[in-house]
Amino acid sequence: MTTDDARQAATVVITRLGPSGTEVLMLRRSPGSPAFPGMWVFPGGTVSDADRASGGDPLRAAAIREVAEECGLVLDADALEPLSEWLPPSQARARFRTSFYRATFVTGDVRTDDFEVVDHAWITAAGALARHADGTWDFMPPTWVTLAAMASGDVDPAREFHSHVVGSAPTVLAWAGDEHHPDRPGPVGARHRIRLGERPWVYLRHDAHEPAEPEPKEAAA
């Protein structure tokens, strides 16, 4: 893990089998929340001093604690499967190095505090993406990409998404393997990025031998 100013955080993607297929638990943060106000998120939060003093993995301890606090579910730390790691671009005002885990819902009732978290939903990944596309729900890019991977069945473990801005109007974020990623670039024409702005957002991930997308404005060379 590289040294930077980012705080550690943990997030859990909790799934269950519903009538329409695999569903994921989504929480809506209060419009007055200091973190991601009004957005739909997976349960999670920052690592606390108590998590570090727990005697175990502080990231897993934070994940378990945050799930219990935000939605009332009790998870076993051993049941958490590493999914991905996210680091926002250096331009971000608040930077959190967030470890995403996934867990299967076993039992319990979802209970939100109606203060920090004001609503919840069990929904398919495709259904959640549709609500984002029509403007009903708002997501941060890690949430959107995770849902897009789930909807396509392309969920590989332990991916790293260390984001860099490589274009604007609309904003384009690139990750390792993209031609313009400054630290871990791929060959000319390779794409691993998301194009934000007008919805639906566009996630591109392909090798150099495939047709390249037009460059965004102000793309880094």
- State the SS3 of 41-63: ECCEEECCHHHHCCCCCHHHHHH
* CATH superfamily, region 7-162: Nucleoside Triphosphate Pyrophosphohydrolase (3.90.79.10)
What are the tokens at 48? Answer: 């606390």
Return the C-alpha torsion angle 186, 125, 35, 178, nearest 10: 10
Ramachandran class of 179: left when φ > 0, alpha when ψ lies in -120 to 50, beta otherwise: alpha
**Which tens digit of pLDDT belongs to each residue from 23-56?**
999 999 999 888 899 999 999 999 999 999 999 9
Residue ranges, CATH 3.90.79.10, the chain? 7-162
Q: Please name the amino acid found at residue 41.
A: V
Burial (CB count within 10 angstroms: exposed 0-12, middle 13-18, buried 19+), residue 99: buried
What are the tokens at 72? Answer: 């009332």
Query: What average pLDDT does range 102-106 have in this prediction?
Result: 94
Name residues whose C-beta falls within 8 Å of residue 136's C-beta, 6 or more positions apart in sequence: none
pLDDT of residue 214: 56
Name residues whose C-beta falls within 8 Å of residue 77's C-beta, 6 or more positions apart in sequence: 56, 57, 60, 61, 63, 64
Is the pLDDT at 110 greater than 90? The verdict is yes
**Which tens digit of pLDDT belongs to each residue from 126-153?**
999 999 999 999 999 999 999 999 998 8
pLDDT top residue among 91 and 67: 67
| Antiparallel, parallel or unpaired: β 44-46 and 117-123 | unpaired
